[in-house]
A = this chain, B = another copy of it.
Amino acid sequence: MPGAGGRDGPPADRDAPPAACAVAVDVALLTVRAGTLQLLLVEPDDDRLAGLLALPGRRVRDEEDLDDTAHRALAELAGVHAPDAHLEQLRTYGDPARDPGGRVVSVAYLALTPSPGEPSPRRRAGFIDVGRLDPVGHTDASPPLRLAYDHLRISLDALERARAKLEYTALASAFVTEPFTLAELRGVYEAVWGVALDPANFRRKVTGTRGFVVPTRELAAPGPEGGRPAKRYRRGPAQRLHPAMLRPA
């Protein structure tokens, strides 16, 4: 609701003044590296949070659009400059107690990018395998990850959003660089969903969905052990998949 200036009518209806309010943006950036889905995390500067990891996040500046804050958080805190990344709002987390230091309403974003070739992030930032977010099944070699604030919940929500959106949108191509092979695209689904897909049926589904991918005339170089060269494709204009590509039960 806008109208902060003068909308709320007679004094009896007027809301309480804003007092100590803060709006921030936190970004859950997912990428596929080495066949696994990974999440970008940073070490908070706050010493009171030593030993914890957090999503990159920044306060929203005056006159700054929320999307710009998201890009700035990635750049300033993780050295990630990804202007072409897919960026969408996840949801807004507004529990009054979510930050013990004061009320902060956080607009969480989901970002999807192809894997940066190098371990790009400068600063104290890096990618973790999303499997380490799972509250169960940890080992000595992979202790349970501790995230600051409610960032574990945000991360899990982002993960579920990404998994769900692969089903009914063409978003998987946001994880690969153009041009790409269908094996690469299939690898995205397999990494995000954690399942193996039948290459033949996957191909039939993808190429049979109008506008999902468009073929080029290029061929990819085979791997070191040979194999038929794969055709390369680019993203098509389709946003939604009809019908959806359902996760195997």
Contact = CB atoms under 8 A, between A and B. Distances in A.
Interface string A131-160: 000000000000000001110000000000
Nearest to A16: B61
A168 interface: yes
Given A10-B45, A55-B1, A65 B96 contact: yes
- What is the oligomeric copy number? 2
Given A44-B3, A101-B7, A15 B65 contact: no
Interface string A235-249: 000000011101001
The 6 closest A-B pairs by CB, nearest first: A1-B57, A5-B101, A9-B45, A2-B99, A1-B24, A15-B59
Interface in A95-150: 95-96, 98-107, 148-150
A222 interface: no
Contacts of A50: none
Interface in A178-202: none
A34 interface: no
B107 A92 contact: yes
B23 A106 contact: no
Given A45-B7, A45-B13, A21 B24 contact: no
Contacts of A45: 7-10, 13
A101 B66 contact: no
Interface of A: 1-10, 13, 15-16, 18-26, 44-46, 48-49, 54-66, 73, 76, 89, 91-92, 94-96, 98-107, 148-150, 167-168, 242-244, 246, 249
Given A21-B22, A60-B94, A99 B46 contact: no
Contact of A2 (B8, B56, B149): B149
A155 to B, nearest CB: 13
